[in-house]
Amino acid sequence: MLEDPKLQKTPLFQQHQKLGAGLAPFGGWLMPIQYQGILAEHAHTRQEASLFDICHMGEFMIKADPVSSGLDRLVTQEIVSMPFGSCRYGFLLNNEAGILDDLIVYRIGLSDWMVVVNAATVSGDFRHLKENLSGGSVLEDVSGRMAKLDLQGPRSREVLEGIVGARAGELKYYTFSEFKIFGSQSCIVSRTGYTGELGYEIYIAVNYAERLWETLLSGGIVKPAGLGCRDTLRLEMGYPLYGHDLDEKHTPLDAGLLKFVDFSKDFIGRDALEKEQREGARESLICFQADSRRSPRHGFTISDGGRPVGRVTSGSFSPSLGTGIGMGYAAGNYDPGALLSVGDGKLEIPVRVVKRPFLKKTSLNGIGVK
């Protein structure tokens, strides 16, 4: 393929070429979509362990008192009481409560934080933080200096312990710690992920990315996986994707994600979100499943008895369930079991509304961990 010079490449680009990965644009980056194939990589992640290049994500380092700097007011989750070594998922909202981004905040120390954001929103998020943090705080975009590798699957703990030591296995869900690797090199390991499996996200200096990648793949257990299966894995869990299921036109209430909003504190967009709660959401993000292998696709119309009521935001064939699954925004209240259809005018797929996650049992809750 002809490479677009405007697309950025991760520090593992040559590794992907060497492994014969299929590459495609994603969020302004040239990223690996698949190696063996999406179905094989999906199954290996659910059954063993896979390695993902997520170096395109953005990382900010912040030195700030969370209250006096206004940092706590920028995030929908309460972060003032976060223990050191913990991380928390939440949102950046605009004044209308539209979602600017979903992110994870890491508390490194009393006034030391790391914020991990989506690739396509790095510049906008940085600008939003800079404009709203008060004097005395220090905000630095370290995305270009930091690599991020995700190790996911039931055997990920076993593999990671063999590389950084048994202490890695002590990490609880949504906690992190610093580890030494390759002698004296520091890396941050968090027990987090986007697959629904037991997994870890590893942050390390860019110049060590290739060595870590090769080390993790060297034992024969771990295989590389691309963004293709990452999408099917996250969709089976009902995890939203920014730019598809989340955007500035929708609020956490629309997305059914108010559990990541703390109304006991002040935050940008709170007044608008409380108003929407009183008046009711215009539309809601629903999950639906087909009774066949036919796959809903992004942009398909959601219909109720032939009447258009919404739009599919994410859809795919589910390798684990053997059926088509999807998410989308629909006007009206649709409880689990409600019958709808999705289509593009040529193909019409009957679906029923279900609760998320689609896949109920994974190694994230201890099932299948070896």
Residue 51 domain-assigned? yes
pLDDT digits (tens, 9 = 90+) for 227-252: 999 999 999 999 999 999 999 999 99
For residues 31 and 19, is the Cβ–Cβ distance under 8 A?
Answer: no
- Split into its structural domains, the chain has a count of 2
For residues 351 and 326, is the Cβ–Cβ distance under 8 A?
Answer: yes
Pick left, alpha or beta for residue 270 (phi over 0 → left; psi -120 to 50 → alpha; otherwise beta).
alpha
Both tokens of residue 46?
A: 């659910």
Q: What is the domain extent for residue 122?
A: 1-279
pLDDT digits (tens, 9 = 90+) for 196-219: 999 999 999 999 999 999 999 999
For residue 306, give the CATH number of its domain.
Answer: 2.40.30.110
Residue 361 domain-assigned? no
What average pLDDT does the chain have?
Answer: 96
Q: Quick one: 291 and 305 in the same domain?
A: yes
Residue 362 domain-assigned? no
Using DSSP, state whether 53 is helix, strand or coil: strand
Q: Give the CB-side neighbour count of residue 306, counting CA atoms within 13 A.
A: 0
| Per-residue confidence (pLDDT) for residue 1, from 0 to 100 | 46
Q: What is the CA radius of gyration of the chain?
A: 21
Indicate the pLDDT class of residue 103, thresholds 50, 70 and 90. Answer: very high
Q: Quick one: 304 and 244 in the same domain?
A: no
Q: Quick one: 243 and 182 in the same domain?
A: yes
- Mean pLDDT confidence for 155-159: 98
- Mean pLDDT confidence for 314-337: 97
Q: Quick one: 194 and 310 in the same domain?
A: no
Q: Quick one: 24 and 134 in the same domain?
A: yes
